[in-house]
Amino acid sequence: MKLIKTLTWTSAFTAGLFLGGLVHSSAHQPDENRGRTTQQDQTKDRAPEPASITGELTRVNPQAMTFSVMTATFAKMHFRFDDKTIVSGAESNVAGLATSNGAEVTVTYRNDNAGNMASKIEVHAKR
């Protein structure tokens, strides 16, 4: 009987030490990301990278402040513009874009939650 009590207490004590060691080691392991931002966090904080595309200006809607461009691969892309959008080339303002249908344009834009926002529109002379 004394042997059974001793083995039970020894087993309980050993199990307690083992489980305590597991909890202690996992609680004190250094977190690899502690103090650092992850790549996913960095992309949330940064503005989207600008991109550019060249194609034919196919449609301009000044009231909705939108326009479309047909690329060389026949993909139609839709863009928004605002008062901050810079227009250069044959027509020097956003209102003048409506008269440039069919012209070749290069659009620098950012893709945000609301779609493609043009930051710069370069209208190339018609050939």
Going from N- to C-terminal start, the domains of the chain cover: 1-30, 48-123
Q: Which residue has the higher pLDDT, 87 or 18?
A: 87
Summarised one tens digit per residue, pLDDT across range 56-66 is 999 999 889 99
User: Whole-angstrom Cα distance, residue 120 to residue 105?
Assistant: 10
Q: How confident is the model at residue 81 (pLDDT cuts 50, 70, 90)?
A: very high
State residue 101's pLDDT score: 84
> Cα separation of 91 and 84, whole Å?
16
Q: How confident is the model at residue 90 (pLDDT cuts 50, 70, 90)?
A: low
CATH tag for 48-123 (out of 2.40.50.140, 2.40.50.320, 1.20.1740.10, 3.30.70.20): 2.40.50.320
Give per-residue pLDDT as tens, 25-55.
555 555 555 555 555 555 555 666 789 999 9
Q: Find all residues with CB under 8 Å of 54, minimum gap 6, and list them.
A: 71, 72, 104, 105, 106, 107
Q: What pLDDT, on a 0 to 100 scale, did the predictor assign at position 55?
A: 95
Instruction: Give the H/E segment covering residue 41.
Output: helix 39-45
- Average pLDDT, integer, range 9-31: 60
Q: What is the pLDDT of residue 94?
A: 73
Q: What is the pLDDT of residue 100?
A: 84
**pLDDT, tens only, 93-127:** 777 787 888 899 999 999 888 889 999 999 887 66
